Structure 1
Amino acid sequence: MIKEKFDQYIRTVSFENAIDKTTKKYPYNIPSILALEKLKELDFHPNVTFVIGENGSGKSTLLEAIAVLYGFNPEGGSKNFNFTTKDTHSGLFEDINLIKGFRSPRDSFFLRAESFYNVASNIDALEEEGGAASLLDSYGGKSLHSQSHGESFMALALNRFRGKGLYILDEPEAALSPSRQLALLSRIHQLVEDDSQFIIATHSPILMAYPHAVIYNIDNGYEETKYTETDHYRVTKEFLMHPDKMLEMIFKKQV
């Protein structure tokens, strides 16, 4: 099911204020962030939007700003999480504006691979404080710290993501094997069918193969890119088809 654009939770991100190009401070020293001013607006797909690019290109910075502006904790979690381990998020959210759809999601979550440990710790702390119901029931019934990194990611997707939701995921493949990435892809499709929207920063050629999606490559501005034209697809395909040749080329470069 492909939703109509007006029916999605986040439609567009646009600039509210002009960027001060004289500053060299993070995040305004990242080319992709500076490029947003010229772009003016970035439209999101009703189902899945992928943001791709090299390490350091600004993917996580952009997703963080979108999440913070929407009301999420900068370190991740649901909108009810308000813990702070270290205040390192950028001020980019102050320079952007979100154009939302006419409906609000019933569920939402911001997943950051780099700070997921802190989210799991906060869940355990809240569980110890007690309440009317066990918080861990929403995460598979046991502490995320008692599971491997990959198992805890999948427990989150399978149990905590309830559908009719907005899910912002920053490199969710970080802890997942290829087979688990396929399982996550299946779960994403189930949730899209259940009226959910995803915004995902990723390096995974498996995840970005999802068909009902748009891919933005931010290495050279913000370019909408076909899956088969991404470096992730082409490099992976070339390596799998000709591993010996690719290894020989790589090792020769080191000489």
Structure 2
Amino acid sequence: MIYLREFTIPPKKVDELVFTPSKPKNPYFIPETNIPAYNNHYPFIIFRNRIVKPVEFSNITIFCGDNGSGKSTILNLIAEKLEINRSSAFNRSSFFDDYLKLCSYDMSSNFSSNILSNSKVITSDDVFDFLLNLRYANEGIDVKREELLSEYVESKNKDFKFSSLDDYEEMKKVVDSKRQSASKYVKDRTMKNIIGRSNGESAYMYFTENIRESGIYILDEPENSLSVKNQIKLVKYIEDSARFYNCQFIIATHSPFVLSLKEAKVYDLDSTPMVESKWTEIENVKLYYKFFKDREEEFK
């Protein structure tokens, strides 16, 4: 499903006028750009020669390029302009909002407030935080398990006499410890580890739990924390979500597996100006191909 049809960033002339006081008065001029203290004008300049026309979107649209090419920046601009939900912070900079005001977009008639509420930005930081929280939770559970095991041994060997209702909980511990095995005693008093899978499997689970029906999903380098096997699983999940569940995906990636998404529109930000390319024409993919092609005999 296509909700976002087109996104337009400031053209080169406007980008230049932001830095240029002139007469008659220049409506685009931002005085702070001429103050030496503001030596970082990001995201101005970065796309000046790179994106020269409105970006058109498919149900799956991918931006690829080296670090610093602007692929995460274009995702952040889209997300902020559309006011899509996000959890992690990003490099906003002093001039981000000024640049954002000069951006525009075109939505299809299918877009609605319900679609927006379902939509989400998912970054590698979000996945990392999720994995970290799981680890902390499990560490807490493991500590509790050790405490309960000590409690079991102590209760099992305790000579206890019930004297009032105030002793009920203590009596229950003693009775249970004498009737149950240590593992049963501990299991009944604590939940299982939240995570019984690898980091890669848990990272994949994060995507499947956060991508719902009918929404725009902006994924910034989703391959991070995923094994090749789980990247391939995620590719299939994205394809199915776009095809059957009315989702639109806008993705920044280095991964050849993610780039191979069926029917995706792929933009190469390493090209100046940016061009739409076949995924097999992307330099990063060709390097992978050459690497394995050169070692083809080793696979026989």
Q: TM-score, normalised by structure 2?
A: 0.61
Whole-angstrom distance in 1 between the partners of 2:79 and 2:61:
14
C-alpha contact (below 8 Å) 1:52/1:201 kept by paired residues: yes
Contact preservation (8 Å) 1:12, 1:43: yes
Q: Distance in 1 between matches of 2:289 and 2:76?
A: 31
Could you say what secondary structure the match of 1:27 adopts?
Answer: coil
Who is 1:233 aligned against?
Answer: 285
Q: What residue is the counterpart of 2:53 in the other structure? A: 40
Q: Deviations over 1:47-81 (max 9, x none)?
A: 100001111111111101111111135xx34xxxx
| Shift in alpha-carbon separation, 1:101–1:240, aligned structure 2, 3 A | same
Q: Deviations over 1:87-129 (max 9, x none)?
A: 7324142321121111232621101113544577899xxxxxx
Tell me the residue number matched to 1:50. 62
Among candidates 73, 77, 83, match of residue 61 of structure 1: 73
CA distance in 1, matches of 2:201, 2:277: 31
Larger of the two Rg values belongs to structure: 2
Closer, same or farther: CA 109–239 of 1 in aligned 2, 3 Å:
same
The verdict on how the C-alpha distance between 1:164 and 1:87 changes in structure 2, with shifts beyond 3 A counting, is closer
What is the root-mean-square deviation in Å for CA atoms of aligned residues?
3.2
Q: Identity of counterpart residues, as a percentage?
A: 29
Moved more, 89-98 or 48-57: 89-98
CA contact (8 A) 1:48 1:198 kept: yes
Q: More strand per residue: 1 or 2?
A: 1
Partner of 2:228: 178
SS in 2 for 1:39: coil
| TM-aligned CA deviation for residue 9 of structure 1 | 1.2
Q: Normalization by structure 1: what TM-score?
A: 0.71
Contact 1:14 1:41 in 2 (8 A): yes
Q: What is the aligned partner in structure 2 of residue 98 from structure 1? A: 105
Do residues 25 (structure 1) and 40 (structure 2) align? yes
Residue 6 of structure 2 is matched in structure 1 by 12
Residues in 2 aligned to 1:191 and 1:108: alpha-carbon distance in whole angstroms:
13
Alignment length, in residue pairs?
210
Q: Give unmatched runs, 5+ long, in structure 2.
A: 21-32, 34-38, 135-192
For residues 288 and 60 of structure 2, what CA distance do their matches in structure 1 show? 22
Residue pairs, 1:106-117, within 5 angstroms: 107-117=118-128
Moved over 3 A (4+): 21-24, 28-31, 114-123, 146-149
Matches of 1:101 and 1:122 in 2, distance apart?
38
In structure 2, what is the equivalent of residue 215 of structure 1? 266
Distance 1:59 1:21, change over 3 A: farther
